[in-house]
Every structure is written in C-alpha cells, then in structure tokens.
Structure 1
Amino acid sequence: MSAPTLALAPDTTAGTRTTSDRLELLQTLIAGPTFDPVLRGDVIRVPHDHPVYGWLCGVPRCERIRDVRRDYCCGHAAQWLQFQCEGRDIVAFLKEAVPLKPRGGRYLGNCLFWPDVPAYRRCATCTPGPW
C-alpha cells in the first residue's frame, strides 16, 4: 500500500503574471536611485575614473591602464610598493609619482569595447589575469 499523495496548493497568480510585468519591474529597478547611472544606457561607456569599474591608473594624469588587482598601472604599482617598504604614505607617493604615457607591451589595435582607446598586451611584470 503506498503513502497518500498530498496535493499542492494551486498558484493563483500563475495566470495573471506576464512577461510585461517582469519587464516593468526591471525598468523600475533600473530607474531607482541606487542603480548606477552608467549602466542605464543602451551603450555602456564606463569613464576611466569610475569608482568601481574604472580602468585607468590612479596616479593623476597617468595614461596607462591599471593592473587587474590594483589601483595603479604596472609601473606605479611597483613604485607604490617601494614607497610602502620605505614606510612612506600615499600622499607622498601621489605627489612624487610621474604620470606615464601608454606603452609597454605589444600594440593589439584598438579596444573592442572602447574603439577610441588603444589596446596593448600586458607587461611581463604585471599580475597575470584570470584568462
């Protein structure tokens, strides 16, 4: 003899929910005050100094792209490490750091995401990426 089967309660909202309801909910969330305005457009262009998705070196006027896990390019990351070993602070580092022009590595053409930005292969001293 088998155990009795319990019937599930019927979902009363299943017939009333539509795809447009989900789209309206998504649009409302995107329009909310906590959603990053950079991500709202049809074409997303992240500024180089964005606090979360920024891609340029943190040294003022440096034109090199930051290392994957750091706030600075390869050259400035090494300089910052040296400053730390000497017991010096970030203020002194940023005052003394010389902005660098983009170079170092093999030119690969322009970036696929930002066509006006030149793309270079990473320098040998940088931390290897996850790829």
Structure 2
Amino acid sequence: MLSRTSSARQAVAAVARLARPQMRTFIAPTVSRRADFVQELYLKELKAYKPTPIKESDALGQVATFNLPKPPKSPEEADLASSLKEYENMAVEVEGQEGADAAAPAAVVEDWLVEEEEEEGAHH
C-alpha cells in the first residue's frame, strides 16, 4: 500500500506541476551592442568635414559699400538779404481792394472785440 500511495503522490505532484498557471516574466530585449552602420558612417563623415575658411573678399558681391551722403548746400547770406528786402518792398494786397483807387481814404477799422456791459439788475 505504501508503494501505491507514494506513486499516487508522485502522480498528483506531476499533475499539479503541469496544472500550475503560467506566470509572465519580464525579459529585457537584447539590444545589439554593435552601433548602427548608417550612424557610424554619418559620424565618420561629420568628423572628416572641414569648412572652407572665410575670406574678406567673399562679402564683396553680397554687401553694398557705405558712402556718406553729400552735405546739403547752404543758402548764400547775400541772397537771403536781398530776398528779405524784396519781400519788405512788396505791395500789400488786400482782398476786395484790387480795383479800388489807392488814393482813397482807408476804411475805418472798427474794433470787433467789444465786450458789452451786462445789466446787473437783469440777473436778479
């Protein structure tokens, strides 16, 4: 009987092992230690690149040269004096007197800014 029970136990243990639920385990994906071929080629070309040195003559066609503007001509002092005298000697033109006689007496100019006196009794 003992042999029967031990064999039965072994059979139950074997079935229990098989019936165990499968457990998921995290397995990190293995990354290739070798770098990418394109990346290696790019870095190699990048290290080998030597830019052309910049010369001062490179900017000649691209940038306009600066030229100072010409200073303005100053008016002549004698010309100003003669223009001022000419202006002072000009006849004064008054509107409405173009055809009128110059010998006629000048019209009386009335004072247009006259303040009227207010009556104090009207306010009260």
TM-score interval for Structure 1 and Structure 2 normalised by the shorter chain: under 0.3
Structure with max Cα Rg? 2
More helix by share: 2
TM-score by length of 1: 0.22
More strand by share: 1
